[in-house]
Amino acid sequence: MKKIFHQIHLWLGLVSGLLVFIIAVTGALYAFKEEISELGNYQYVEKQTQDFLLPSQLGKTAEELLPGKELHAIKYNGKSRAAEAIFYGYNPSYYYIIYLNPYSGQVQKVKDMNTDFFRFVMQGHFYLWLPPQIGHPLVASATLVFALVLLTGLVIWIPKNRKALKNRVWFRWTKGTKWPRINFDLHVVGGLYVTVFALIFAITGLVWGFEWFGQSVYKLTGGTKLLTYSDVSPYKQIPDSTLKTTNATDKVWLLMQREYPAAASVEVHPPHTDSTVVAANATQRDGKYWKTDYRYFDQHSLKEVDVKNIYGRYANAGFADKLYRMNYEIHTGAILGLPGKIFAFLMSLCIASFPVTGFIIWWKKRKKS
């Protein structure tokens, strides 16, 4: 049986090794995306006592710079940070962020995100730099194969006796230890300690990779809602007598600002047709995105509308909803803050090394035979 598992481990590893290496390396590079991206001076402003400009005012300034592009959202990032006008579209594909002073509307930077380094890294991690309809299933399939490689590796790791166990649980190198032995131990001993975390990365990746997998995990944990955006229905009237503006997006922004005065960021999405809602979300001060409150308002009556998917108010989320919403931060290690990201970065580098050390072991044995 171990021989069979060894063959499965070997050939699945050889087939998926290069893809796993690329996915792991790009995952490691992406780990500190937020920390590195926030180093730009254009993202900061001098804190002032006056009110922010309204979304309609910032949006008008931004739209003049990108005529013909559709404004996706206006995001306010606090009193010392620039606001963001986000433009996103398909056919043709474009993604821009315009950084604006939220007090004056002064443009601080127009950034084409499709030329951003971390955007390039993410495209490799998600799609292997291929068209999404090709790259996405390739990455998902490679991740599934990698999970099977990890499980078969655990089976063939089991030592024959107690003496062999000592050599499987820690590195026993001496001054004269040769490179083939070091390489073997890095693969076998290192694999033992990384496997649990690698499986977490694989499972959280598969949640996005295959719809059936994500749905299964959600249902098994007790989820009953939809995982994608669905039709909405009114459930609450929002009084707007104090919101002194006629623009629906501005009214929603003022409402969100009033209800979330301590939020790290508030984002509003202008409606693109007469029948769509004004969407808004508020990220909590602790930076945990899975705790974000997502809210939706009828653009004509300002009635708040409820959704039947998991992206609603955090207070209304059940255990399965919260677990699914945590998926990104579990996958990146951000669930534990900066220490978690550092740990995820190191684990990703270890995962990237396994296809290399495994290939070397196979190649050495092949040459001997």
Q: Give 86's Cβ-side CA count (13 Å radius).
A: 11
Band of residue 356 on the pLDDT scale cut at 50, 70, 90: very high
Residue 286 or residue 338, greater confidence: 338
Q: Spell out the residues 6+ positions from residue 308 whose beta carbon is closer than 8 angstroms to its own.
A: 225, 226, 230, 231, 232
76-104: string of b/e by CB count within 10 Å (b at 16+)?
A: bbbeebbbbbbbeeeeeebbbbbbbbbbe
Of 123-132, 140-149, 159-168, 303-312, where does mean pLDDT reach its minimum? Answer: 159-168
pLDDT of residue 217: 95
302 pLDDT more than 70? yes
Q: Which residues pair with 303 in a beta bridge?
A: 237
pLDDT in tens, 38-84: 888 899 999 999 999 999 999 999 999 999 999 999 999 999 999 99
Of 77-81, 97-101, 240-244, 293-297, where does mean pLDDT reach its minimum? Answer: 240-244
pLDDT of residue 339: 94
Give the architecture (CATH level 2) of 42-120: Roll (3.10)
Instruction: For the chain, give the percent of residues with pLDDT over 90.
Output: 69
Tokens coding 155: 């089976």
Residue 157's CB is within 10 A of a number of other CB atoms, namely 17
Tokens coding 131: 């068209």
The C-alpha torsion from 183 through 185 and 187 to 188, rounded to 10°, is 150
pLDDT in tens, 156-209: 888 777 777 777 778 777 777 888 888 888 898 888 899 999 999 999 999 999
pLDDT in tens, 232-244: 554 455 555 555 5
Query: Is 0.95 topped by the overall pTM?
Result: no
Concatenate the DSSP letters of all residues of 139-205 into one string.
Answer: HHHHHHHHHHHHHHHHHHHS-SSHHHHHHHHS----TT--HHHHHHHHHHHHHHHHHHHHHHHHHHH
pLDDT of residue 235: 46
Band of residue 90 on the pLDDT scale cut at 50, 70, 90: confident
Mean pLDDT over 243-269 rounds to 88
4 pLDDT more than 80? yes
Backbone angles phi, psi at 98, to 5 degrees: -105, 120
Q: Which residues pair with 94 in a beta bridge?
A: 89
307 pLDDT more than 90? no
Contact 206, 213 (CB under 8 A): yes
Average pLDDT over the chain, rounded to whole? 90
pLDDT of residue 245: 57
Report which secondary-structure segment, H or E, holds 211: helix 211-220
- Distance (Å, whole) CA 162 – CA 140: 38
Q: Spell out the residues 6+ positions from residue 137 whose beta carbon is closer than 8 angstroms to its own.
A: none
Tokens coding 324: 């699914």
pLDDT in tens, 18-34: 999 999 999 999 999 98
- Distance (Å, whole) CA 227 – CA 215: 8
Mean pLDDT over 313-320 rounds to 93
Residue type, 205: G
pLDDT of residue 3: 87
pLDDT of residue 178: 86
Band of residue 329 on the pLDDT scale cut at 50, 70, 90: very high
pLDDT of residue 121: 96
Contact 205, 328 (CB under 8 A): no
Residue showing tokens 């939809």: 226
